[in-house]
Amino acid sequence: MSPSKPKVVVVMPAYNAAKTLHMTYADLPRNVVDLVIVVDDGSSDETARIARDLGLELFIHDRNYGYGANQKTCYREALRAGAEIVVMVHPDYQYDPTLLPEIIRPIEAGEADVVLGSRLMGIHPIRQGMPWWKYYSNRFLTTLENLVFGLHLSEYHTGYRAFRRQVLESVNLQMDSDRFIFDQEILAQIVNLKMRITEVPVPTRYFAQASSASLFQSSVYGVSILWLLVRYLLHRGGIVHQRQFDSLERRYRSAAEAKQKAD
């Protein structure tokens, strides 16, 4: 690895991804990616065996702990492996792995701390197969989140994301949910810490093997986002302090300073 090239680690939060894991991995640009980590969240199919056959770094949960819990393990192991840029790529082949160089470019250029691969930039997502109810709920929730966070993003609900190492070291991942709302909680934390977020357009695929939440799951997710936005506003307004939004880096520094004074 060149000294000037940051170490790029791809993490794949996997659950019953046996039919698409190989395709996803095959499309990753090997000249850009230094390590691929797969976390199998208690799959009942051959996901773990395929990951081993591909020679990927594999971690297995003894049961299905949830999408958020899976990401926590992904990021912890990526940081432990020395990642400087961490990219989450869903192994269901819905997002195009070949676009990874575009996803990490703003971080490499020092222009962003977080990059989101947006499905709502470029070709209309309904033309790509996104269910209409999912598209309009995405637009509604994104509008609310932009209002609360003071941003102008095209969407917050993508599963294709890249993070600078310092982002994952600063946010309090362990206080986030083990469920789907994790994706929005980590973004709320990032916004609260005033880190830079940018977007890159990514086309997506919708097919039988690609994971997709049901209408009921999406409804629960939507209500959870509304509650998250209320908690964020209470925290930002100084009404109810939420430790979840505190910077870990800042907290550790304050603790170290207090200990130094006591000594």
Q: Write the pLDDT tens digit of every residue in 136-180.
A: 899 999 999 999 999 999 999 999 999 999 999 999 999 999 999
In angstroms, what CA-CA distances link 32 with 5, 79, 233?
A: 9, 17, 39
Q: What pLDDT was estimated at residue 192?
A: 97
Domain residues for the domain of 59 are: 8-262
**Residue 43: which of 65, 75, 26 has the closest Cα?**
65
Average pLDDT over residues 243-247: 94
Residue 251 pLDDT greater than 60, yes or no: no
Local confidence band at 18 (pLDDT 50, 70, 90 cut-offs): very high
In a domain, 25, yes or no: yes
Task: Return the H-helix or E-strand segment holding 62.
Answer: none
CB of 196 closer than 8 Å to CB of 114: yes
In a domain, 147, yes or no: yes
Q: What pLDDT was estimated at residue 218?
A: 82
Q: What pLDDT was estimated at residue 252?
A: 47
* Percentage of the chain exceeding pLDDT 90: 78
Beta bridge partners of 117: 200
Local confidence band at 63 (pLDDT 50, 70, 90 cut-offs): very high
CATH number, domain of 82, equals: 3.90.550.10
In a domain, 3, yes or no: no
Q: What pLDDT was estimated at residue 135?
A: 85
Q: Which of 3-12, 41-50, 51-60, 141-150 has the lowest mean pLDDT?
A: 3-12
- Indicate yes or no: pTM above 0.75: yes
Q: What pLDDT was estimated at residue 60?
A: 98
Average pLDDT over residues 121-140: 81
Q: Is 82 left (phi over 0), alpha (psi -120 to 50) or beta?
A: left
Q: What pLDDT was estimated at residue 208?
A: 57
Q: What pLDDT was estimated at residue 207?
A: 60
Average pLDDT over residues 233-250: 91
Please give the mean pLDDT across all residues of the chain. Answer: 91
In a domain, 2, yes or no: no
Query: How many domains are there within the chain?
Result: 1
* Percentage of the chain exceeding pLDDT 70: 90
Q: What pLDDT was estimated at residue 203?
A: 85
Q: What pLDDT was estimated at residue 216?
A: 77
Could you read off the pLDDT of 186-217 as tens digits, one per residue?
A: 999 999 999 999 999 998 877 655 555 677 78
In a domain, 1, yes or no: no
Residue 255 pLDDT greater than 60, yes or no: no
Average pLDDT over residues 12-21: 97
Query: Edge-to-edge strand order for the sheet containing 114-118?
Result: 57-61, 35-41, 8-14, 85-88, 161-164, 114-118, 197-201
DSSP class of residue 30 equals: T
